[in-house]
Structure 1
């Protein structure tokens, strides 16, 4: 059974890139699947007007996954700094200052 998580919308290269990266990461797929002709044909079938530029390559997906990972950990680090400040009960501007006062 098909599970839809989003409402249909207009074509967006960024949305396709996100969806393909999510498919690779969440379904534990090889990055090689992105450049396979059968997979690319599936994407073209969903949008017949797609050009080669509209379909993400392994390079695009790899960069997207890497950048998403970096953004996640930057946010994670900031969240941890906020939690440490809350635990300490004092306001500190950096994680190093919080470590010093613990």
Structure 2
């Protein structure tokens, strides 16, 4: 195993670790819109750069991801100070089409 291939595997492991950390940290936002944006932005950024082969560029991208992780950590802490009511989308009673349809049906009738 060459040094280059060992480093390549190491950077791949680092990228996967950062990806998981960013997704987990993004899930800790209280606000639905911020939470979904953080997850979507993380997925898009990593998918956009999946084909990068240059080791120097990979290390720059990993450094940028570490900085982004620190920003997301700070922002999730701040968001926990300013809690808001959950959106209708987040309510367990309105998840799924059947639950939503039951709320709209007149009394005494059930959809099957």
Same fold (TM over 0.5): no
Report which of the two has the higher share of helix: 2
State the TM-score, normalized to the length of structure 2. Answer: 0.29
- Higher relative contact order structure (alpha carbons within 8 Å, sequence separation ≥ 6): 2
TM-score, structure 1 normalization:
0.31
